[in-house]
Amino acid sequence: MRDILCVWTDRQCLKRMLISGALFLILAAPFRALFNLIPGVTEIRPANVLPVVFGLLWGPAGAFGTAIANAFSDIFVSHSPVRVWAPGFFINFFFSYLPWKLWYCLPELDGCVKTPRLSNVRQIFKYMYICLIDSLVITTCLGFLFEVLGFQPFRSSVLLLFFNNFDFAIVLGVPMILLLTSRKDAGLWLPSGMERLSEPPLRDSSAEKKSKNTRAHIFDSSEAENPAGKADTACGRIADRGLFFILSTGIIYDLLSIITGMKAGKRMELIFLSLFALLLLFQFTRRELPLLPHTSDSLPGMSIRGKVIVGFLMLAVAFVLLTGTTAFHALWREGGDRRTVWQYIYTVVGLALNLLFAVSLFFLSFAERNITGPLEALTKAAKRFAGFDHKEVERNRTFISGFSAARTGDEIEELSVSFGQMMTDITDYVENLEKMTKEKERIGAELAVATQIQADMLPRIFPPFPDRSEFDIFASMNPAKEVGGDFYDFFLVDKAHLGIVIADVSGKGVPAALFMVIAKTLIKNHAQFGASPAEIFSITNNQLCEGNEAGLFVTAWLGILNLENGELRYVNAGHNPPLLKHREGGYSYLKSPAGFVLAGFEDISYRESSLKLSAGDMLLLYTDGVTEAENRAQEQFGEERLLRVAVESGQDTAKRLIFAVREAVSAFSDGAEQFDDITLLALRYRGASAEPAGSEEAAESKEEAGEKEENMRALTVPADTGRLDEVQSFVREALLEAKVDESSLFPIEVAVEEIFVNIANYAYAPAGGDVEICCRTKKDPLSAIIRFSDAGKPYNPLEKPDPDIEAGAEGRDIGGLGIFLTKKYMDDVQYSHENGKNILILRKRIR
């Protein structure tokens, strides 16, 4: 009763009442005017489906809407008197409200019900059962009303009225509910009582498994507890079965009486009607059951079950309509009054239609069990699996272990088995991917350290010998991977001789880098013992051949320059010929016999060459990463272009020449991937009489070493680890503003994090204080200088001994690794304590 009264105070219910009434009038009015069989009382009208549909979906709102519209139609279209439309209003309201009440009182599974979407055979059978009860009740009421009002005897109209109500409720009602509740905006059409129904009780896995393996009947119920108590008692189960038994018996009795022509006993009819009314009244007053979410509630449209149901029902209806049309033409030719013809056709069509409904239910049950049901279960499993966090491997494996493939013996079973295998493969892949990711992160961290170690092995401070004025030298290496196989070196053999070497190890990555370390060490060691270039290569070649199972080799060029007279003795082991510039101008390749590569074969003799350098002559050494650099069209840079760049650049210092070549190679590549290390070394001989100060070259070198300061920014923050992100962002923005490449920021960010975290944890403990961070950049070469200043306890982190990185985690002392990495990543780290403040300066040259 509360639901009925609430209709008039709820805006949503009023909206639904208006919609249902308007649609009822639109559909009912034409048929009242065109197909009146018994004037003023009843007619053939498809609008009879609307009370059932709207009552089932909207309850009292739909019932009031259709009842008011029916009364309006009786008054203004059929001009019926009050003795007709007044009881018709209440009968129509009951006709519409009864399906709502029965739907939520008859259980489906586990003592609960689902929203009436009719997307499976069980719900369709329940809907047909409710329509059967509803049609019989309304037919009985209308039959008695007709007889009381004197229109016609009860038995002469009951069959026509029953088929009219029941068949339209099925033929039009099933597809109508399917279409309305399968829309994306189905919220308007879903039952308004959902929010007032209690939630279903929680079920354990055994009960759920049992419910899946048992073919449940709509009259089966459960004794599971729910918040409202036991919704379906033993009396309820008896009432369900009793109502079905009385209904079936009454239908069979009436059919037999109609077919055989015998008169039904008034006493027997009264007994049936009384029992039916009592059981119906009991059902009408039962407590509504808790609502379960429908399996298709989350679908964007109609489920595959719904489509099969609609399609098959439409075929059945088309067949019946064809049969009815044929029967109509045959009977019309024979003559007879219209009412008798329509009654006969309605009887034939109604019986045929209900017979086809029964066949349809058997077919749909078979399709649901073997096609749509397994597909729906597979869809549900796929959706649940897709929603998992696949990093939770154990949860995935638990779900997979509970998944069972459909046993249909056809393509659906194959699909189900394949899906199960796919879930297993995805889980295994994610598990392996997680392991590989962790391993890749570990290797990446180790490669970052290896990159810094390799860079530290190559001379990077220029000018390298500030007190020597006889030469100007500069070099650079840009590896294609984290670590490279190219290397360069220069060193003083003695006070009068300078050794220079450039080499390229075959292959890339870690193996080439390890071989590079060995080759570089051997060449330098033998050179410093005073051996000639040819002897150095011969000895180094034999030593590299020992145990070289990987088959690596090295192309190298080594020269030893006499700083007093400019004599250069050199040897080439399969390397690219250097470029030589004479002080008169112009470049040319230094052609000389190229010996075999190092580590190729043992006991190879190398031929030594020599030339005399004059003051102002310049030598450019390079690896094949320069000449074989490719652009997007896969064209190589080549020796001719290198020669042209060197000539056209007109640079007369080693550093500017290398920068000019690197910029030319970068412009030529135009963003194409770098496949080989790019290494350059330039040497300019000034002569033995050159002076460090006063000469034009020395002054220029000094200006370059000065490194003009660019962007300078400062930030003061509390010494709190929670401000680390702010500090990192500050340093990052300052460096990016200075045109620092983002790929060069990683070592700087690691060092900044280590220093700031140390200050936050130890400088002011247990109190607090501020940290000032100053970030500035310098150009030529581009460098970053980051200064930390705090007024905490004096502490020099650089005094802490470096950890033993070769020891395992168990044998290594805790701490010290962060400062060690900072010193490795940075070119220079300085600490001082001035005016009561700790000052730590990090310097990193970008290029």
Per-residue confidence band for 384, with pLDDT thresholds at 50, 70 and 90:
confident
pLDDT in tens, 667-701: 898 888 878 888 999 999 998 765 553 344 444 44
pLDDT more than 70, % of the chain: 73
- Give the pLDDT score at 38: 42
- Give the pLDDT score at 197: 39
- Give the pLDDT score at 701: 45
Helix, strand or coil, per DSSP, at residue 643: helix
Per-residue confidence band for 336, with pLDDT thresholds at 50, 70 and 90:
low
Q: Distance (Å, rounded) from C-alpha 218 to C-alpha 126?
A: 7
Q: Distance (Å, rounded) from C-alpha 385 to C-alpha 368?
A: 23
How confident is the prediction for the chain on average, in pLDDT? Answer: 77
Q: Distance (Å, rounded) from C-alpha 417 to C-alpha 435?
A: 27
Task: List all residues 6 or more positions away from 402 whose beta carbon is below 8 Å from its beta carbon.
Answer: none
Q: Distance (Å, rounded) from C-alpha 636 to C-alpha 626?
A: 9
- Give the pLDDT score at 201: 40
Does the pLDDT at position 138 exceed 70? Answer: yes
Q: Distance (Å, rounded) from C-alpha 237 to C-alpha 234?
A: 5
The b-or-e profile of 234-262 (16+ CB within 10 A means b, else e) is eebeebbebbbebbeebeeebeebeeeee
pLDDT (mean) for 786-806: 81
Sheet holding 497-505, edge to edge: 486-494, 497-505, 554-562, 567-573, 608-612
- Give the pLDDT score at 231: 41
pTM of the model: 0.46
Q: Distance (Å, rounded) from C-alpha 209 to C-alpha 342?
A: 52
Asked if 167 contacts 198 with a C-beta cutoff of 8 angstroms, the reply is no
The better pLDDT of the pair 723, 266 is held by 723
Least confident of 263-272, 371-380, 649-658, 796-805: 263-272
The better pLDDT of the pair 751, 206 is held by 751
Per-residue confidence band for 356, with pLDDT thresholds at 50, 70 and 90:
confident
pLDDT (mean) for 711-723: 87
Q: Distance (Å, rounded) from C-alpha 107 to C-alpha 98?
A: 16
- Give the pLDDT score at 617: 92
pLDDT in tens, 143-185: 777 777 766 665 566 667 777 788 788 878 888 888 887 765 5
Both tokens of 114, joined, read 């689902």
Three-state SS string over 33-86 comes to HHCEEECCCEECCHHHHHHHHHHHHHCHHHHHHHHHHHHHHHHHCCCCCHHHHH
Both tokens of 184, joined, read 């994306």
- Give the pLDDT score at 710: 58
- Give the pLDDT score at 226: 42
- Give the torsion through C-alpha atoms of 297, 302, 306, 308, to 10 deg: -150
Which of 205, 204, 196 is closest to 227 using CA atoms? 196
pLDDT in tens, 596-611: 999 989 999 999 999 9
Asked if 829 contacts 787 with a C-beta cutoff of 8 angstroms, the reply is no
pLDDT (mean) for 485-493: 90
pLDDT in tens, 201-239: 434 444 344 334 433 333 333 333 344 444 444 555 555
Helix, strand or coil, per DSSP, at residue 562: strand
- Give the pLDDT score at 162: 77
Beta-ladder partners of 772: 716, 789
- Give the pLDDT score at 750: 87
Q: Distance (Å, rounded) from C-alpha 142 to C-alpha 138?
A: 6
Q: Residue type for 618, please? A: M
Per-residue confidence band for 385, with pLDDT thresholds at 50, 70 and 90:
confident
pLDDT in tens, 363-376: 777 877 788 778 87
Helix, strand or coil, per DSSP, at residue 150: coil
Maximum Cα interatomic distance, the chain, rounded to a whole number of Å: 142
- Give the pLDDT score at 113: 75
Q: Distance (Å, rounded) from C-alpha 481 to C-alpha 743?
A: 12
Q: Distance (Å, rounded) from C-alpha 687 to C-alpha 609?
A: 21
Helix, strand or coil, per DSSP, at residue 151: coil
Least confident of 36-40, 56-60, 115-119, 728-732: 36-40
Does the pLDDT at position 626 exceed 90? Answer: yes
How many other C-beta atoms are found inside a 10 Å radius of the C-beta of residue 392? Answer: 13
- Give the pLDDT score at 210: 39
- Give the pLDDT score at 27: 82
Exposure of 137 in the CB half-sphere (CA atoms within 13 A): 27
Per-residue confidence band for 291, with pLDDT thresholds at 50, 70 and 90:
low
- Give the pLDDT score at 87: 83
Does the pLDDT at position 789 exceed 90? Answer: yes
The b-or-e profile of 35-45 (16+ CB within 10 A means b, else e) is eeeeeebbbbb
